[in-house]
Structure formats: structure tokens, C-alpha cells
Chain A
Amino acid sequence: MELQGESWLTTRLDKFADWSRSNSFWPLPFGTACCAIEFMGTVSSHYDMSRFGYEVVRFSPRQSDLMIVAGTITDKMAPVLKRIYDQMPDPKWVVSMGACACSGGFYRAYHVMQGIDEIIPVDVYVPGCPPSPEGLMYGILQIKEKIARDRKALRERAKKAKGKGRDAA
């Protein structure tokens, strides 16, 4: 896209929507543990996630499109996580931040979920215990790329969801 002379350009509506979405995530931090502290570091002045347009951190699932699961999810927390994920409107993405959210980490234990993908779909796994802010930012930027790439998959998913709605009606 390039502006020359006249100040207008052409694009597809899809592309325009993708472009705006991927440059203005409204993240929902589902922070439970140590990773949440690093998430705080990521949005704070030093690393400053707002450089990418991701500073509108929303704690209401209904206003956000990117869930960042930062921290260990226990079996007690699992129903809460599932419900909050369900409350987010489509399209939505999930970043699993840190070893615990990805796989349970080194808590192979009686009260810890062995990875949040037991109950919700995950788009990007960010390794680390906790990941550095750079790592988290890289993970979120991966989602940005994914949005540009996955338009087709997204459309199919939306179609499926719509079909389901009609059946129910």
C-alpha cells in the first residue's frame, strides 16, 4: 500500500479489517501467578507494549479479543477460565504465556492443569518460566502475523459457528 499524490488507496475490506485488528489488540490478561508480574513488566514504561497498539488492556472478556493466559491454571480455576474464554466475542485469540499455561510446567501435580489446551484452544505458546517481556511481545506479534495468514481458516470457523446458531434456532 502506498500513498501517491491523491490521499486514497484501495484494498479489500477483509484486509482492512485484519490490518486494523492486528494493530489494535485489546488484550485480556488472565494473570494468575508469576507470569502476570512479567506481563505487568511488559505493559509498563520500560518495555511499553503500547508501541504496537496493544495497550488497551481490558479486564472484561466482552471487550477484548486477545486472551493472555499468564500463570498456572489449577483445576479449581479451570471452569473460570473456560467461562471467561466463552464470554469473549469472536474473532478471538489466545496466547499461552509461560511453561505452566503451556504444559503445567514443573508442577506435575494433583491440583494443576497440565496445559490450558486441555480446555481452550491456544494460538501461540510462549515458553519460559516466566518468559521475558521480549518473549511475550514476540508471541503477540506472531498472532499479528497469524491474522494476516489465517483469514481463510477464520472465515470457515465463522461459517461453522453461524451454521450452529441456525440449527439451534
Chain B
Amino acid sequence: MLLEEPALLARFPAGSVVPQEGPDAPADQPTWVVRREVLLDLCRALRDDPQGRYDLLLDVCGADYPDRDERFEAVYHLYSVPTANRLRLKVPLTESDPKLPSVISVWKGADWFEREAYDMYGFVFEGHPNLRRLLTHEGFQGHPLRKDYDPARRWILTEDKIYRPVLRAPADRPESMFERMTINIGPSHPAMHGTFRFVAMVDGEEIVASEVEIGYLHRCMEKMSETHTWQQVIPYTDRLNYCSSFLNNVAYCRTVEKLLGIEAPPRAVWARTILSEFSRIMDHCVANGSTLVDTGALTNFWYFFQPREEIYGLLEAVCGARLTVSACRIGGLLADLPPDFVQRCERLLEFIPPLIDDVEKLVDKNRIWMDRSVGIAAISGEEAVNWSWTGPCLRASGVAYDVRRAHPYDLYDTVDWEVPVLHGGDVYDRFRLRMLEIRQSLRIIRQLIERGVPAGPFVVDDPHVALPPKDACYNQMESMIYHFKLIMDGIRVPAGETYLMTEGANGELGFYVVSDGSGKPYRLHVRAPCLPIFSTFPTLMRGHSVSDAIATLGGLNVIAGELER
């Protein structure tokens, strides 16, 4: 727990900051209920207090409890990189006056989080410089994540309502000899990876101001999970970061397992760790491959897709699907591992390294690539933390925060591996860091394979959580009833809430889940690692050229499915 609590809390009026205690309090991390009047001061104190040092705002989201007097709750998740402490703040709000101060002056990363909460719940963040809808379109009415919003109620966007940004050059910038021009790239542009829209004002070649518009792939995943049973949510998690679906499966299943108070058996945990690392390799291959292809190095893209195809083969053997695997189940895995699992992994361990070496040889000292990437879109570690960055992009800026090391889960604390850290913070270092991480992932897998497959079941032996074996369902009355109950009603997850983090392929992937004891999630929020990273994009690009913007985007590894959910 927190050491500074009494001293810090004493600074605020009695009753304005109340730590939640007792049996109903969330068990995963300390939770404070904060009145909105003191929120801004409290946040500033939490960031600056020498014992608190909550320098990373992980997430801001909303929740809706229509039965309460104060219907809404704004939920903040904070993290302290130096002390590894976590803290949750909850701000109750009424329906008639859902206003609260913006914390953007404390953490710049709050920008898009707050816009999303405004979009989804209608919270008004006072002091936010640009409180517009983030995910839904301009013709949208209402706030879809409120409980009284019909999940299927659509609004049609007509062309006249499409948002057209008006950019202004910074006032301190002198007029130049060039005409200033505003150009629009995307959303359907190959360099914008299909779904982002980047509008930039250029002065000659230099970007003086820019804006990013997202939401072109907002698929309402969070609302959909509220209308499906706990197991049925697993396929939705696949389609978050679809370059590494398995990592999302693991993150979600572990969150629900934590609420249930169960643990997956060793065999499942072993396989999860291995497949997670293979998925991370796949993801890094896409991120680096698309960075290179955006800068014109097409050959490497083909090289990078070869390991992916081979890993697809492994995943296909495990679960039958290539991309969207849904291979995890709450309490374990979908099915037992194929008999040749270890041999397949061993083959991959031989096959992948030469390809990675080839790419490295082709680009690592390549003059063209260096000119396009060194010093481009550089960000310092301190700035990156303030912008809520996590994952490889943050580690390329010199901050060694990796969830697998800071809060070990699965088997990460039993194997020998390093957290690679680079200090340039530019496109080049983000690329190199991913190459280093691929090697570390291979190292982790190699050690686990050497250990051999743990014996035992692949899923927990609990008929309230996992489906009974098929032959038992056909031949035993009891198993058939359990099967029926699980399919029709879903798993009964005890009431409570939790936030669980894992290291996704592009940063801390967190699931904030609230259960009301029924068969469906009451509220499910995904802490998407690339959302704050991408919100930094206009700031990063100031002073660079449009071609730099193209080179930068791939390296940030922004995956639309996860960004917009």
C-alpha cells in the first residue's frame, strides 16, 4: 500500500478524497473516491509528490451505474514508473451535471482518453482544449456506452457533416517565402494503414501544424462485450490488435481468471507464454516490415512475412485459425496442444533467426534507411512518459518499463531474459529495439521449449468455468447439464472490478473489467497502448516533413482495431 497516504490526504478537505476500504473495495489496487473539486490538485500532487511520483497516466474511462444517485464514474488508472505503484481514482458524477476538470495540464496523455470518455459517456472535461468526439462520427447523437443507449442504434454520416480541420500555424512562426498549404492524407491511404486521417499544414516541405482524425474503425467492441457472455468476448479481443491476437486473448482471460480467483494449469501457462512470445515476434515483424515498406524497402517486407507465415502454421495447428486465433479459454486453452507442438516450435526457432539477420544486414547500416530514420520524430523518455507511452516505443526512449519485468506474470520470472533499452527515441531506435526484442522473445521460447511440456490438463477442472470434455457431455447427465448452463448462461463471475495489465506487443495492454455477478461483463474497458502513442503524432511531426510522417507511423505500431476498438 501507499506510504504517503496520510500526509497527502491531509492536504485536502475531509471527505473529498476517500480511500475505498472494506470487503467491497477492489482488491487489485488501492482505489480512492475523489470529489471532482479537488481532482486537479490531487492529480498534480500525486505526480509531483516525491513519494507518489505517479508520472504515468495509464487510462481514463467512464462507467455508468443508472441505479446510483451519482450515476457516472470517471475512472483514472495511474502508474508510477520509479516505484511501480498503481492507483485508481474514481470521480462520481451526476447525470445532470457531468462536469469535471481536465487533467491535461498534468499529463498530456490525457488528451485522447478524455475525448473518448466525452464521446462515450458525455463527460465534460473543463479546460480541455479540443473536446470533440474521438471515435464516433460527426453525425452521431447520444453517448453510446451509457446503459440506456441501444447497442444497435446507428446514425448515418452524410458528406456535408464530415469534419474538416482548420489548422493554424503557431503564432511565433515567421511568414516564409512559401505558400502554406494544407494537405489531407487518408483515411484510405496506404501510408496511413487504411484508417487514419492526417491533415497537415505544410510550409514548403515542413509540417507546421497537423491534426489526426481517428474513429474510422470504431467497432463498438466495449458495448458489444456488454451484450455477450464472458466466453463470447474472447473473439472480440482477437480483433483488437489483430497482428498479435493471442496476446489479447491471454490478457482478457487472465483478467477474468483473476476475478474468478482461479489460475490456469501449468500446461496452459507454459503454452500461453510460448505462443505469446511468438505473437510478439509476428507483431514486431509487421511493425518493422511496414515501416520499411513505407520508406521504400519492399524486399524486407517479404522477408518479414516469411516468419509470420511459419508462425501462422503453428497457430493453425494449435487452434485451426491463422490470424484471429481465439485460442485461450477462461481457465486455460481451447484444446490440448498438438502432439508435434515442441517439434514445430523447434523448427521455428531454427527458421526465424536467419531471416531476422538478413533483414538486419540489409538495413542496419544502410545509408538511405539511416537518413530516413535517425533523429526523426525523436522523443525524450520524460516526455514519452508524460504522454502515457508504454511498450517498445517507450523503451526506445530510455525508460525500461516492461510489464513482464515490473509485474511478472505467466512464466516470465522463471526464464532468463533482458529488457532491451535504447536511448535515441527516434524512428531508428524504435526499429532496432523491436529487432532486439524479437531476439529476446526467441530466447524466452528456447528456454521454455528445453523445459518440455508440463504434464496435466490444459484447462482448469472446474465445470462452472470450463466446458466438460465432449465425450462426457454426450454420455453423462451431469456434464451435459454443466455444458448447457455454461453455453446458455455463461460463466458466473463474482461481482467486483479489476484492472489487469500484460505486456502487449506495443505497450501495456490492460483490461478494466466490472462484473455485477451475472453471466455478462457489466463494463469492459481496454487500455489500448497505441491510443496515447498515436495522440502524440501531431506533436512529434512538428518541424518534420511529410515523408518523415510516413516513416514514423509504421514504427509507432498503431493498430486501428486496438486504437479505436
Give A residues with C-beta under 8 Å from B: 30-34, 36-38, 40-41, 44-46, 59, 71-72, 74-81, 83-84, 100, 106-112, 129-130, 132
Contact B560 A32 (CB under 8 A): yes
Residues of B bordering A, CB below 8 Å: 135-137, 139-140, 144, 149-159, 162, 187-190, 194-195, 215-221, 223-224, 235-236, 238-239, 242-243, 286, 301-302, 305-306, 308-309, 312, 322-324, 560-561
B302, A30: Cβ atoms under 8 Å?
no
Which residue of chain A has its CB nearest to the CB of B308?
A41
Question: For B139, B194, B238, which residue has the most chain A Cβ atoms within 10 angstroms?
Answer: B194
Are A37's CB and B219's CB within 8 A?
no
Given A30-B188, A34-B242, A77-B195, does the pair A109, B151 have CB atoms closer than 8 Å? yes
Q: Which residues of A contact B136 (CB under 8 A)?
A: 76, 110-111
Question: How far, in angstroms, from A38 to B308 measured CA to CA in the complex?
Answer: 11
> Could you list 10 A-B pairs, sorted by A, with CB under 8 Å?
A32-B195, A33-B239, A34-B561, A37-B286, A37-B323, A46-B306, A75-B156, A80-B216, A106-B235, A106-B236
Q: Are B324 and A34 in contact (CB under 8 A)?
A: yes
A40, A75, A83 — most chain B CB neighbours (10 Å) = A75
Cβ B239 vs Cβ A34 within 8 A: yes
Q: How far is the CA of A35 from the CA of B190 in the complex (A)?
A: 15
For the A-B complex with A32-B217, A106-B236, A111-B137 known, give 5 more contacts whose Cβ atoms are closer than 8 Å. Answer: A34-B561, A59-B188, A74-B216, A109-B151, A111-B218
Chain A to chain B: the 5 pairs with minimum beta-carbon distance, closest first: A109-B220, A34-B242, A76-B137, A44-B305, A46-B309
Given A37-B323, A71-B194, A72-B219, A111 contacting B144 (CB threshold 8 A): yes
Complex Cα spacing A77 to B188, Å: 9
Structural contact, B155 and A75, CB atoms closer than 8 A = yes
CB < 8 Å neighbour of A109 from B152, B162, B309:
B152
Residues of A within 8 A of B323 (CB): 34, 37-38, 130
Q: A79 contacts B286, CB within 8 Å?
A: no
Task: Select from chain B the residue with minimum beta-carbon distance to A77.
Answer: B216
Indicate which residue in A74, A78, A132 contacts B219 across the interface (CB closer than 8 Å): A74
Q: How far is the CA of A34 from the CA of B243 in the complex (A)?
A: 8
Q: Please name all residues of chain A whose beta carbon is closer than 8 Å to the beta carbon of B238 when the two chains form the complex.
A: 34
B189: chain A residues at CB < 8 Å are: 59
Report how far A45 CA is from B306 CA in the complex, Å: 8
A71 touches B217 (CB 8 A): yes
**Given contact pairs A44-B309, A46-B306, A110 touches B223 in the complex (Cβ within 8 A):** yes
The residue of chain B having its C-beta at the shortest distance from the C-beta of A31 within the complex is B194
**CA–CA, A37 and B562, complex, Å:** 14
Residue from the list B188, B190, B242 in contact with A37, Cβ < 8 A: B242
Docked-complex contact A77 and B187, CB < 8 angstroms: yes
Chain B hits for A83, CB < 8 A: 159
Assuming the contacts A38-B322, A76-B215, asked whether A109 and B302 have C-beta atoms less than 8 A apart, the reply is: no
Contact present for A77 and B154 (CB under 8 Å):
no
Contact call A75/B242, Cβ cutoff below 8 A: no
A41 near B156 (CB under 8 angstroms)?
A: no
B306 touches A110 (CB 8 A): no
Q: Is the CB of A79 within 8 A of B187?
A: no
- Rounded to whole Å, the gap between the CB of B134 and the closest CB of chain A is 11
Alpha-carbon distance A36/B301, docked complex (angstroms):
15
Residues of B within 8 A of A36 (CB): 194
Chain B nearest Cβ from A160, distance in angstroms: 25
Across the interface, do B219 and A77 meet the contact criterion of CB distance under 8 Å? no
Nearest B residue to A28 by beta-carbon distance? B188
A71 to B139 CA separation, bound complex (whole angstroms)? 22
B157 touches A33 (CB 8 A): no
B242 near A79 with CB under 8 A, answer no
In the bound complex, how far is the Cα of B224 from the Cα of A72, in angstroms? Answer: 15
Q: Is the CB of B220 within 8 A of A33?
A: no
Which chain B residues border A46 with CB–CB below 8 Å?
305-306, 309
Across the interface, name the chain A residue whose C-beta is closest to B133.
Answer: A76
Given A46-B306, A132-B322, verify A110-B144 contact (CB < 8 Å): yes
Whole-angstrom distance from the CB of A115 to the nearest CB of chain B? 13
| CB neighbours of A132 from chain B (8 A) | 322
| Assembled-state Cα–Cα distance A47/B257 (Å) | 39
A72–B322 touching, CB < 8 Å: no
- The distance in angstroms between the C-alpha atoms of A31 and B306, with both chains bound, is 21
A44 — which chain B residues lie within 8 A by C-beta? 301-302, 305, 309
Kindly identify which residue among B135, B150, B560 contacts A111, using a CB–CB cutoff of 8 Å.
Answer: B135
Give the most central of A30, A75, A110: most B CB within 10 Å: A110
Q: How far is the CA of A84 from the CA of B140 in the complex (A)?
A: 23
CB of A32 within 8 A of CB of B309, answer no
Chain A residues near B155 (CB-CB < 8 A): 75, 110
Set of chain B residues within 8 Å of A33, measured between Cβ atoms: 194-195, 217, 219, 239, 242, 560-561
CB pair A110–B194 under 8 Å, yes or no, is no
Residue among B149, B217, B308, B312 with most chain A CB within 10 A = B217
Q: A81's closest neighbor in chain B, by CB? A: B188
Chain A residues near B217: list those with CB within 8 A: 32-33, 71-72, 74, 77
Q: Give the distance to chain A from B243, nearest Cβ to Cβ, in Å.
A: 6
Which residues of A sit under 8 angstroms from B561, Cβ to Cβ?
Answer: 33-34
**Which residues of chain A have C-beta atoms less than 8 A from B156's C-beta?**
75, 78
